[in-house]
Amino acid sequence: MIAFGRGGATPRAGLVSLAPGFGMTNRVVIDQHFRQRDRLGRLLTALAYNPFAVGLGLDEDTAAFIDGHDVLHVEGTGAITIVDASALEHSSMGHARTGSVICLTGIKLHILNKGSTYDLHLRQAAPPPGTQD
């Protein structure tokens, strides 16, 4: 889990400190007050350390419920940002100095609102029912 870190849109080495989570889910890094406090950079930094994980950025007044099939369901008035680093092609984290910008390529980003779902096993997002083009 993210123990603490600074805001900002750009991932930087040392921007975030991680600690063991609560054990409620596996392979997921969650950050809260996400867009309101500009925390994309720290979630990207956490995933640069742990590219096997899925990053969840929860906006205020928004929740992610994970069902028994590991499908995430979005509820609330804001959005959830999903950052999927499973296809990460390059990360400069291995040789970056503290404070330097991290280069990440191959990251997938989803913005999900109420009614949207995300399958954590298949790593597939779906919009709310009835809104697909």
Share of the chain above pLDDT 70, in %: 98
SS3 of 110, please?
Answer: strand
The whole-model pTM stands at 0.90
- Residue 3 binned pLDDT confidence (cut-offs 50, 70, 90): confident
User: What's residue 118's pLDDT?
Assistant: 98
Superfamily assignment of 2-122 in CATH?
Class I glutamine amidotransferase (GATase) domain (3.40.50.880)
| Largest Cα span, the chain | 47
CB 5 within 8 A of CB 38: no
**pLDDT number for residue 132:** 67
CB 38 within 8 A of CB 59: no
Per-domain residue ranges of the chain: 2-122
Residue 40 confidence (pLDDT) above 70: yes
Give residue-wise pLDDT tens across range 85-112. Answer: 999 999 999 999 999 999 999 999 999 9
pLDDT digits (tens, 9 = 90+) for 45-76: 999 988 999 999 999 999 999 999 999 999 99
> Strand, helix or coil at 19?
coil
